[in-house]
Amino acid sequence: MAVFAAAEAPLRARQVCEAVDMEIAPNNINNIRLKLKRLTERGILVETEQDVFTQPRP
């Protein structure tokens, strides 16, 4: 969540991988994307466009 708090714009899964120093591999990107989608379902994140995520603004 710190990655999204520090971000000035919505992020894609690849950008999240880069921000947490994870290897940029298709499997890692897909795993992060699935986690971001789960956080979206729980209302913690918002998907502004397809596969573009951000924190909800009050």
pLDDT of residue 5: 87
**Would you say the pTM of this structure is higher than 0.85?**
yes
pLDDT of residue 20: 94
Average pLDDT in the 16-38 region? 96
Q: Which domains does the chain have, with CATH numbers?
A: 2-54 (1.10.10)
If pLDDT is split at 50, 70 and 90, which confidence band does 26 have? Answer: very high
- Please give the full DSSP string across 1-58, using - where no structure is assigned: -HHHHH-SS-B-HHHHHHHTT----HHHHHHHHHHHHHHHHTTSSEEEETTEEEPPP-
pLDDT of residue 39: 96
Average pLDDT in the 11-32 region? 95
Average pLDDT in the 13-38 region? 96
